[in-house]
């Protein structure tokens, strides 16, 4: 059984440290963790470091589990592909990943199941290059799932999907986490979806983890103000689900004073550049 604990994880691009000292409690299998935070907070960089795609400091502790090739899979944010392959071929290649290209009947059946679960069976024969953004994102999810990961890091997997598909995919991922007893981390900007579909949340700001815990503990008015600079609160909606009510950007970022300061700074930058 795999568990995941991050200890003092950091990573940098050149000399710029973009993630530092991320230490989490042990994340249990069968759970979905929302990784939240503003643009450029470091969520993708953290995922890349945990997946071993970026170098850096710290320890990725998998408990007693021995790391194998597909133990940790990262599904990137940018799922564009120019490969001249059909959807089905691309998923077979993802499943085989350098191992023997002989495909067993049970592997094909599993691919069919995943395509059916994501409702993209009708795309199987289409070329990757002719898919819409949302269709490409669904195919990328299928390509990741066939690799049978124990830890799945999904970078904004629903950003190109319509509302119905977003809810379907998040609910499906929750079922996959529980059904296959795997660990799923999802970088996500929709905090209401995090509240609805994730067990816990990790909040990142400026490359540091500022909160970790049950979603309803992490996502509150303090987080909205301190991490997202918006005024708002969480209340129960008519269905009894926690739901964010936003008033707008917090006074600090919205004030005339700050706008004036920003203009002045831009003027100074322009003058300095002359
Ligand atoms: N390849 C790269 N080279 C240099 N800097 C990078 C590179 N990729 C990301 N960065 C920088 O690292 C910081 C963190 O970026 P990252 O993509 O991890 O943020 P994020 O939280 O995933 O953002 P978003 O929500 O906008 O996707 C940003 O300042 C970004 O400009």
pLDDT in tens, 136-172: 999 999 999 998 899 999 999 998 899 999 999 999 9
pLDDT in tens, 35-67: 999 999 999 999 999 999 999 999 999 988 777
Q: Delimit the CATH 3.40.50.300 region(s) of the chain.
A: 5-219
Ligand 1 centre to CA of 125 (Å) is 35
Q: Which residues line the pocket of ligand 1, CB cutoff 6 A?
A: 13, 18, 37, 39-45, 77
CA gap 67, 70 in Å, rounded: 8
What is the per-residue pLDDT for 85?
A: 80
- 118: number of Cβ within 10 Å: 18
Q: Can you tell me which atom of ligand 1 is nearest the CA of 189?
A: 25
Q: What is the CATH number of domain 5-219?
A: 3.40.50.300
Q: What is the ipTM of this complex?
A: 0.98
pLDDT at residue number 51: 94
List the residue whose alpha carbon is closest to atom 13 of ligand 1.
40
Q: Look at ligand 1, atom 8, and give the residue with the nearest C-alpha.
A: 45
Q: Which atom of ligand 1 is nearest to the CA of 38?
A: 25
Q: What is the mean pLDDT of residues 225-246?
A: 94
With a cut of 60, say whether residue 122 has pLDDT above it. Answer: yes
DSSP conformation letters of 104-124: -HHHHHHHHHHHHHTT-GGGT
**Nearest ligand 1 atom, CA 48:** 18
Out of 11, 16, 34, 40, give the residue to mutate to test ligand 1, the one with the largest number of ligand atoms within 8 Å of its CB: 40
pLDDT per position as a tens digit, 79-119: 666 667 888 888 888 887 756 667 778 888 989 999 999 99
Q: How far apart are CA 173 and CA 161, in angstroms?
A: 14
Angle, alpha carbons 173-179-182 (nearest 5°):
70
- Closest-CA residue, ligand 1 atom 9, reads 45
Task: Please give the pLDDT value at position 225.
Answer: 95
> Backbone phi, then psi, for 55, in 5-degree steps?
-80, 165
């Amino acid at each position: 059984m795999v568990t995941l604990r991050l200890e003092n994880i950091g990573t940098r691009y050149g000399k710029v440290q973009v993630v530092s000292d991320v230490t989490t409690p042990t994340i249990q299998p069968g759970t979905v963790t929302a990784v939240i935070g503003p643009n450029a907070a470091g969520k993708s960089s953290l995922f890349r470091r945990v997946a071993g795609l970026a170098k850096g400091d710290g320890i990725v502790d998998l408990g007693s589990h021995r790391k194998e090739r597909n133990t940790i899979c990262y599904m990137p944010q940018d799922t564009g592909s120019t490969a001249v392959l059909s959807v089905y071929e691309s998923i077979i290649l993802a499943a085989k990943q350098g191992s023997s290209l002989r495909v067993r009947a049970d592997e094909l059946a599993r691919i069919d199941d995943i395509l059916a679960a994501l409702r993209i069976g009708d795309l199987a024969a289409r070329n990757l290059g002719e898919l819409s953004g949302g269709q490409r994102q669904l195919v990328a999810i299928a390509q990741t799932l066939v690799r049978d990961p124990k830890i799945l890091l999904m970078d904004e997997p629903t950003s190109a999907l319509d509302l119905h598909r977003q809810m379907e995919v998040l609910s499906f991922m929750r079922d996959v986490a529980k059904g296959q007893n795997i660990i799923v981390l999802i970088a996500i900007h929709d905090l209401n979806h995090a509240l609805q579909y994730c067990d816990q949340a990790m909040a990142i700001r400026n490359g540091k983890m500022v909160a970790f815990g049950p979603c309803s503990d992490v996502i509150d008015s303090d987080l909205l103000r301190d991490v997202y600079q918006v005024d708002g609160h969480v209340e129960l909606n008519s269905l009894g689900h926690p739901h964010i009510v936003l008033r707008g950007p917090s006074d600090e970022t919205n004030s005339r004073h700050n706008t004036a300061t920003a203009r002045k700074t831009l003027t100074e930058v322009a003058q300095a550049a002359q």
